[in-house]
Structure 1
Amino acid sequence: MSGALAKPVMRGMLAKRLRFHLIAAFSLAIGIAATFKFAVAEPRKRAYAEFYKKYDAAKEFEAMREAGVFVSARPTGK
């Protein structure tokens, strides 16, 4: 029977495949997290910082109060 098929190697197969998939999943997760941080989070942080450098909250509040947005803060009689 020299033409018989060889038996598949089953011993340790789960551990071997699990090790490979764990390493691949961990690497992929780290890569995606780094990509998100540098492609989304950092530009968003810079945009917010730039916006709030020239943002005047008191001026914005007065504009909304004059427009009648707030019920309890009526405009002073000007």
Structure 2
Amino acid sequence: MSAALLPKPQMRGLLAKRMKFHLLGAFLVSMGAATLFKFGVAEPRKKAYEEFYKHHDPMKDFEAMKAAGVFESAPPK
């Protein structure tokens, strides 16, 4: 009697059935992680670099480093 109450286990195609589910889940999780990284890390970093280089004067930095004695080939004035 107890055998009739339990459903028969699926023996064929179980791996393929589970693989479809896990591949879909892995794809969705990876796309979500990529989207979070793009908008949470990459875009703010791009904006920060853009803002920095908008007002950046490389000659002013060079002169400040030269005055501090960072460069051996360019003696400070």
TM-score (norm 1): 0.88
Please say if 1:48 is aligned against 2:49.
yes
Opposite residue 66 of structure 1, the aligned amino acid is A
Any residues of structure 2 matched to 1:1-78 within 5 Å, and which? 2-4=1-3, 5-76=6-77
Opposite residue 3 of structure 1, the aligned amino acid is S
Inter-partner Cα distance in structure 2 for 1:12 and 1:59: 69
TM-score (norm 2): 0.89
**Identity fraction in percent:** 61
Inter-partner Cα distance in structure 1 for 2:9 and 2:48: 58
| Moved >2 Å (runs of 4+) | none
Query: Where is the helix percentage greater, Structure 1 or Structure 2?
Result: 2
Q: Once the 2 structures are TM-superposed, how far is the Cα of residue 72 of structure 1 from its aligned partner?
A: 1.2
The Cα offsets for residues 39-66 of structure 1, whole Å up to 9 and x where unpaired, read as: 1110111111011100000000010001
CA RMSD of aligned residues (A): 1.2
Q: How many residues are treated as equivalent by the alignment? A: 75
For structure 2, the 5+ residue unaligned runs are none
